Amino acid sequence: MIIPAIDLINGKIVRLYQGDYGQKTEYPLSPEEVAASYFEQGAKVLHLVDLDGAKDADARQTKRLKEIISQASMPVQVGGGVRCQKDVDTLLEIGASKVVIGSLAIKQAELVKGWMQEYGKDKIVLALDVQINDKGEKLMPTHGWIEQSDVSLEQLIEFYGAQNIAQVLCTDISKDGTLTGSNVSLYKEMKQKFPTIFWQASGGIGSLDDIANVARSGADGIILGRALLEGKFNVKEAISCWQDA
């Protein structure tokens, strides 16, 4: 599945390079128009990220998110700085089909595990970003990749229980925003280890060949951001490539 992404700062579409707010590219496009274009080309799901909310809970773009979701013709999964149950409730109330939870899923795994039971696992996407060290360990930094944790991707999934997880959005941090290709071996390994989980691959996609490689890895979906905004290919071409891989 092709999942186009829109990242927002102050209501405008942006992209960060490897999560760095100091390396920001702003695009002079309306989120509503871009979402409509993606839908018309065949997208079935939109990935929306509130980067203001991710940085500062008090700066959450709730009103803007609601406007975009209400005009989107497809389900919208939303993430960015979910820190408490009220955040989950708010996002679901404004129309998010799924809530994407990152740092909290690592730092307060017991809490998030309870939410997955309360809301149903289909309402939660775990956003698990990995930094692979020289030992090959898939460790997961938190808080916008600023703080390092000593928890591995496999350990965290085993804590939740693969049967309790519907979807994981997994990003190799070293690839994010680079357009240099995705970590195909990561997704191949994770899909083989945890086949019941719907794996969303993310980071590094710069060409249709990259999409085909991820499709062949066994990943179930792929998040596309910068490459679409910069016209490397369009959603329709990406969908065709994914299906033909």
Placement of tokens 């719907």 in the chain: 198
CB 174 within 8 Å of CB 181: no
* Annotated catalytic residue within 7, 52, 172, 176: 7
* Annotated catalytic residue within 50, 129, 172, 176: 129
> Could you tell me which residues come within 8 angstroms of residue 67 by beta carbon, excluding any fewer than 6 positions away?
32
Pair of tokens at residue 182: 């995705």
**Across-strand partners of 129?**
171
State the Cα torsion 138-142-147-148 to the nearest 10°.
-20
Backbone angles phi, psi at 110, to 5 degrees: -65, -40
Q: Calculate the alpha carbon distances from 97 to 16, 66, 157 in Å.
A: 24, 12, 22
Would you give the distance in Å from CA 199 to the centre of its chain? 10
Is 7 one of the catalytic residues? yes
Is 150 one of the catalytic residues? no
Backbone angles phi, psi at 92, to 5 degrees: -70, -35
Pair of tokens at residue 93: 């109330």
The Cα 241–Cα 245 span in angstroms is 6
Ranges of beta strands (E only) in 51-112 are 76-79, 98-101
**Across-strand partners of 101?**
126
Question: Which residues belong to the active site?
Answer: 7, 129
